[in-house]
Structure 1
C-alpha cells in the first residue's frame, strides 16, 4: 500500500479574469522510507500540490478534481477539524519562508513545546527536553540558550532550522518539505539532508520534497517528478532524470544547473523556456536605461575598502553597561573590492556575511572600523544629503524578498520609488516607461506592474527586488543571496543578466551566497567567513582547486558533487 497517494489532482484558482488551472491531472505516490522530489519553475504548481495534501490551499484556490490518500484513507474530503488533527501529527510541513511560519510573539521554546504537547501528550518538562534535543539535531549551537530566543533573534538559516525542528517534533508519517534548505549553507544543508534521509530510512517516513536545488535532489531523493505549468511532464529515478532526461523542459532545467566542478563562460540559454527573441529584447532594454552614462565621479584604486570592521550586538540588555551581555557578529574584517569586480562572501549561516553587507550599505553602524567608498570614509559622514549621493551608487538585493517589499504598494510604485526619490527622471511617463522595461528585463513582464507582492511566488518576488535595485543605475550592487529563492532556470537567467550588466556597465558587486557552485560561476575573488572572522581571501578558481584554510576545505568537501549531470553543450571558461 502506498503511504501517500495523489490521484488525478486538479487545482484551480477562480478570478474575475477567468479560472487559472494551477495543477492539471497530476498523479504521484510516495512509499514508506522513500523521498520523492518535485522540481520545476517557480509557479509550476509544486507548492500548490503540497498545500493541497495538507488542506492549506489559500482561497479562492480549490481542488476541482482528484483524491489524496494517506495509508489508503482518503483525506481530502475530511472536515477542517479532522484535517487539523492530521497536520503536524501525521503529516509534517516545512514551509519555504520561515518568517511567515513562526510566531514572532512567542519564543522558539513556546512554539515547540505547544506543538509537542498537542500531538504527543508529553508533560511540560519532557516537552522542553525534546525541544532542546530537536534544536541540537538540526544544528543550532547552544540549544539550551537559543530555545529561549524569539524568531527575529535568529539568522535566516537558523530560522529555517527551527521550522524543520517544528515539522519533526511530532514524529509524522509523511513530511512535505517546501524548499527546506533554501536559506541554509552547505555544511548545515548536508547535516539537515542527512537527518531527513536517516529519518526516512530508520522510521520509514515518506517525504515529498519540493525544491529547485538540483544538489538537494541528487543527494536525497529516490525518484523525481518534473512539473511545468501545472502538468507533470516527466517522472523517474533520480539517476535517470538528472543523467538522461527525456522531456525537452527537463533537459533545459538540467542545462541551467550551476556546476560545482567547472566555470562556465555563460549559463546555457534555457531553450524550452526562454526564447531567443526574448533574450535579444532583454539586451535591448539594458542599453535603453541601464546602459546610459552615469554621472558619478571617477575613482582611483579600489571602489570599496573595508577596514577592521567590528559589529557588536546586545543579547541581554541591562541598565548598567557592565551587566550587559554582547557578542561580536563581525570581528576585525578587512578586504577590498576592485572596480568592475565581483567579490564573493561565503560561510555558514550566522558567520557575519549579511552583517558585513549591511554595514557597507549603511544599514548598520559599525562598532569599530571604517567603510570607504571611492576613497571616502562613509562612517564619518553625518549629512544625510551627502550620504544620499553614495546611496544612489550602491543598491542592495536582500535574501528575503517578501519582507523587503512593501505589501501595500503595487509593483509599479515599488520599482519606481528609488527613481522618484533620487529625481532621476523629468516626468511620471518617463518613470513608468523605465519601470516597464525593468520588469521585462527581469522576466516578469509589464502586466506585473499593477499587481501586489503577495500575488507572486517567492522567485517572482525576488525578481521584483532585482528590478528595484537596478532602478538607480547603481555603480555597486550588494547581492545578499539573490538567487536563493529562484528555480534553476530563472536563476540561470538572472545570473546571466548580472554577468551582462557587469560587462556592459563595469558594475562592481559584492555577492553573498551559501551556494558554492553559484559563487564559482559568478565571482572573481572570494572571502570565506567563519564566526565573524575572515579566514581566507583568494582568487575563485584557487579556492575551488587549492583551498588553504581548513574551514574552506571543509566547506568544499560538503558541496554537492552532481557527478552524473550531463555536460553536453556547455561552454567552459578557458576552453
Structure 2
C-alpha cells in the first residue's frame, strides 16, 4: 500500500463576521498517498481553495480553522507557528495558486523569484540556482528559457505566467503539491504538456498531489480519485472512473451534465435544475429593461469590425546599457467580424489573441495596419473624446477577474463607473437601479452591490466583470477567456446568458478562449492563431470536422474527449 503523505481529518474552516460565523468547510476528510493524484471539484465558493489554504496556514483573516486535524507524513501541522509553516511551504508542500498575477512579484525578474525560492530551501550557488531556474522554465514549456528568465511577469501572457508559477512550485522538490486550478489559463496544447509533467512528477518521484479544478477534462486525464464538494461539504469521494462515469450524488451528476460537449454543437448548454443554484441568472424582459433601451445602432454596411494587416511589436531592454529586443506579438493579421455574429479566436498562450483584443479596444497602439469599426478607422482617431464614443459601443470582459476589478471599490461603484463616465443616466437613483438589475441578471443579486470584491469567489468576481461590461449597453463585446475562472455549472449559466444577450440585443462578439469545446458551442466562425499569425479562418463546424492547417489539426487532436464521463442525453438540448 502506498505511503500516506497528507491526511485531513474532520477539518472545519470558519470566517467570523458581524452576523455570526460562516462555515466555509465542514467536517472535511481527505487523504493523499505517495504517487497519487486527488482531484477536488465543485462550484466556485464550494470551499475547495479554502481547504488548500487552511492546510498550509494561508487563510485570509479573519478566517480560522475551527476544528479538525491535518497530518503531513504523520506530523500534525494545524496549530504550528507561521515561522514553522514557512519552512514547510515550498520545501515539503509546493503550491500552485489559481491567480498567477498575485503569485508573482511584478518588481522582480523571474530569475530573482525562482532563485530566491530555490536558495531558500536548497543549498545551491547562484550559478547552480540560475541553471535550475532555467531548466524549470524549460520543463514547463516556456520558449527561450535562458532569455525569458530575466524578464518580468508583465512581459508574459496569462498562460505563460501560470507556467512560471508551476515552476516555482517545483523549485525545492516538495513531497506534496497543492495545485489550485493549475491549468486555468493554459491552452489545450500547453495544458497537455503541463498535465504530462505533473503526472510524471507524481509517478517518478512519489509526490502526492491535490488538484483543485472545475475542468472535468483535467480530472478525467490525471486524477486517480475524485472528491466532490458542495457548499463546504464533501458529498462524494471515489475512484475517478466511478465518480465521472456513474456518480451517486445528484450534485455530482449536475456538474458532469454541464460539461460542454466536444463532439456536437448544441443550441444551449445543459443546466440541471434539480440542484438548488447558488447563482441562477434572473430572466428579464429586455424589451422594457434598460439593457434593451436606447440602442439605436444602425445595421452596418459590410462587417462591423474589419482588421487589415495588423502589426504589434513589443520592445524591451535598452536601459542602463542593456541590449534592445523586439517581440512581434501580432504579425500581419487580417480578419472581419459580421454584425451579430460571434467570432472565436483560438491559439496557444502568447500567440497574440489577447493582444488583438487590446489593439481593437485601443488599449494598445498599433504598429501597423488598420482597425475599421462601424465604418470608422480607429487607428486614425487622435482625440480621446472622439475615441470614447466608439469605446462606449465596445466593452471587454478580461481573462483575470482578480486584477480586472478595483479591490478598494464596492461592487455597486465598480459596475456604475462606466455608466457615470459616459453620463448615461439622469440621476444616481437610476444608476443604482440599473446596477441592481445587472447584478440580478448575472446571478449575484442586488445585495451583492454593497460588498467588496474580496468577499466573492473567483467565479463570482467574473460575473461582476460581465455585469460591468454590459453597463454601457454595448454593441460589440470582447470576451477574453470569460469563463476560465468558472466551474462548469456556472460556466453553463454564463455562456447561456451571453448567448441570450447576443440574440436578444443583437450583440456582436469576439470570443477568445483556449477551451475548444466552448468555442465550438459559442462561435459562428473561428480564427486560429500561431506565433502572432492568423493561420486559418473557417466556419466553426468546418474547422472542427475538417481543419486545413497543420496547427489547427494539432490543436483539435488535443481536445479532451471526456471518455470517462457519464452518458448524457443530447436530446435535452436542441442541436443547432
Q: TM-score range by the shorter chain?
A: over 0.9
SS in 2 for 1:15: coil
Contact 2:306 2:335 in 1 (8 A): yes
- Whole-angstrom distance in 1 between the partners of 2:273 and 2:160: 37
- Whole-angstrom distance in 1 between the partners of 2:208 and 2:277: 38
Say if 2:159 is the partner of 1:157.
Answer: yes
Which residue matches 1:104? 106
- Whole-angstrom distance in 1 between the partners of 2:558 and 2:340: 30
- Displacement after TM superposition at 1:285 (Å): 6.4
Which residue matches 1:448? 448
- Residues 64-463 of structure 1 correspond to what in structure 2 (within 5 A)? 64-273=66-275, 281-284=282-285, 288-317=289-318, 324-463=324-463
SS in 2 for 1:262: coil
Output one character per residue of 1:410-442: Cα deviation in whole Å (capped at 9) or x when no partner.
110110111111121111111111100101111
- Whole-angstrom distance in 1 between the partners of 2:299 and 2:568: 43
Output one character per residue of 1:185-234: Cα deviation in whole Å (capped at 9) or x when no partner.
11110000000000000011000000011111111101110001001111
Output one character per residue of 1:140-170: Cα deviation in whole Å (capped at 9) or x when no partner.
0000000011111111111110100000010
Contact 2:267 2:573 in 1 (8 A): yes
SS in 2 for 1:3: strand
SS in 2 for 1:9: strand
- Whole-angstrom distance in 1 between the partners of 2:70 and 2:471: 46
- Displacement after TM superposition at 1:293 (Å): 4.2
- Whole-angstrom distance in 2 between the partners of 1:277 and 1:569: 24
Which residue matches 2:51? 49
- Whole-angstrom distance in 2 between the partners of 1:20 and 1:288: 35
Output one character per residue of 1:239-272: Cα deviation in whole Å (capped at 9) or x when no partner.
1111111111111111111111111111112314
Structure 1 residues 275 and 77, CA, compared in 2 at 3 Å: closer, same or farther?
A: closer
Structure 1 residues 61 and 368, CA, compared in 2 at 3 Å: closer, same or farther?
A: same
Structure 1 residues 102 and 234, CA, compared in 2 at 3 Å: closer, same or farther?
A: same
- Displacement after TM superposition at 1:274 (Å): 5.6
Q: What stretches of structure 1 of length at least 5 have no aligned partner?
A: none
Which residue matches 1:531? 531
- Whole-angstrom distance in 1 between the partners of 2:68 and 2:539: 54
Say if 2:480 is the partner of 1:480.
Answer: yes
Structure 1 residues 52 and 574, CA, compared in 2 at 3 Å: closer, same or farther?
A: closer
- Displacement after TM superposition at 1:286 (Å): 8.0
Output one character per residue of 1:310-360: Cα deviation in whole Å (capped at 9) or x when no partner.
001112236999x74222110100000001100000000000000001111
- Displacement after TM superposition at 1:277 (Å): 12
SS in 2 for 1:496: helix
**Alignment RMSD:** 1.8
- Displacement after TM superposition at 1:37 (Å): 0.4
Structure 1 residues 95 and 319, CA, compared in 2 at 3 Å: closer, same or farther?
A: closer
- Whole-angstrom distance in 2 between the partners of 1:113 and 1:320: 24
Which residue matches 2:569? 569
Say if 2:501 is the partner of 1:501.
Answer: yes
Contact 1:285 1:438 in 2 (8 A): no
- Displacement after TM superposition at 1:65 (Å): 0.6
Number of corresponding residues: 573
Contact 2:312 2:368 in 1 (8 A): yes
- Displacement after TM superposition at 1:493 (Å): 0.5
Contact 1:263 1:572 in 2 (8 A): no
Contact 1:265 1:573 in 2 (8 A): yes
Structure 1 residues 320 and 203, CA, compared in 2 at 3 Å: closer, same or farther?
A: closer
Q: TM-score if structure 1 supplies the norm length?
A: 0.97
Q: TM-score if structure 2 supplies the norm length?
A: 0.97
- Whole-angstrom distance in 2 between the partners of 1:535 and 1:180: 28
Output one character per residue of 1:32-85: Cα deviation in whole Å (capped at 9) or x when no partner.
100000000111000000001111111111111100011111111222211111
Q: What stretches of structure 2 of length at least 5 have no aligned partner?
A: none
SS in 2 for 1:359: helix
- Whole-angstrom distance in 1 between the partners of 2:245 and 2:279: 29
- Whole-angstrom distance in 2 between the partners of 1:417 and 1:290: 16
Contact 2:175 2:207 in 1 (8 A): yes
SS in 1 for 2:403: helix
Which residue matches 2:16? 14
- Whole-angstrom distance in 1 between the partners of 2:236 and 2:217: 19
- Whole-angstrom distance in 1 between the partners of 2:319 and 2:550: 38
- Displacement after TM superposition at 1:17 (Å): 1.4
